[in-house]
Amino acid sequence: MDRPLLIELLRAYESDFEEEQKFVHRFLELLEQPACFQRTHLPGHITGSAWIVNKDRSRSLLVHHAKLNKWVQPGGHADGEENILNVALREAEEETGLKNLLPLREIFDVDIHLIPERKDFPAHYHYDIRFLVEADESEQVVVSHESHDVQWITLAEIEQFTQERSVLRMKEKTILVHG
């Protein structure tokens, strides 16, 4: 999946969620910038994430992100890699230890969210492309240095871990499409 294919997929992307519909135009504008896949591109850059679910789509694997101190899907910076699906899979493996990941190739979700300022970097936006990825929940997970914890959470219990709107939207999509 290269930049032209990503642009094509975003142009064709449809969502029943109004907030996502508003994001697509901003993604397409950002993708006109040559350095948009670099973490140094400000005020925002493209990132990739994996919404990892078990085979029957009843649970999702979330990480308790150390820097953000919240439960979210695994994902991160492209660091110049324009194949954003590869980025999502790389980040999922790094953050969870899972090796046997089965992605659906279409875009599952898009989100733009603010990352707070840190001592070494200003506040900025992540333009996050998310993919639905199936994994075997019996495979051992590993907590990386980027997280406090990694857990399989039933979709019915996700609100007990997070109120992040984009995470809850992906839960809703999973139930609507696969429930």
DSSP code string of 110-172: EEEEEEPPBTTB--EEEEEEEEEEE--TTSPP---TTEEEEEEEEGGGGGGT---HHHHHHHH
**What is the rounded distance in angstroms from the CA atom of residue 32 to the CA atom of residue 142?**
37
pLDDT at 179 over 70: no
Helix segments in 31-119, DSSP class H: 84-96
Note the pLDDT tens digit of each residue in 153-176: 999 999 999 999 999 999 999 998
Q: Given this model, what pLDDT does residue 88 score?
A: 98
**CA 87 to the chain's CA centroid:** 10
Residue the block writes with tokens 């508003």: 22
Whole-structure pTM over 0.85, yes or no? yes
74-87 average pLDDT score: 97
The domains of the chain, with CATH numbers, are: 3-178 (3.90.79.10)
Percent of the chain with pLDDT over 70: 99
| Average pLDDT across the chain, whole number | 95
Cβ atoms of residues 62 and 49 within 8 Å:
no
**CA 18 to the chain's CA centroid:** 18
Q: Given this model, what pLDDT does residue 66 score?
A: 87
**What is the rounded distance in angstroms from the CA atom of residue 110 to the CA atom of residue 21?**
9
Q: Given this model, what pLDDT does residue 178 score?
A: 62
Note the pLDDT tens digit of each residue in 97-120: 999 999 988 999 999 999 999 888
Note the pLDDT tens digit of each residue in 16-60: 999 999 999 999 999 999 999 999 999 999 999 999 999 999 999
Would you place residue 146 in the very low, low, confident or very high pLDDT band (cuts 50, 70, 90)?
confident
H or E segment and range at residue 175: helix 165-178
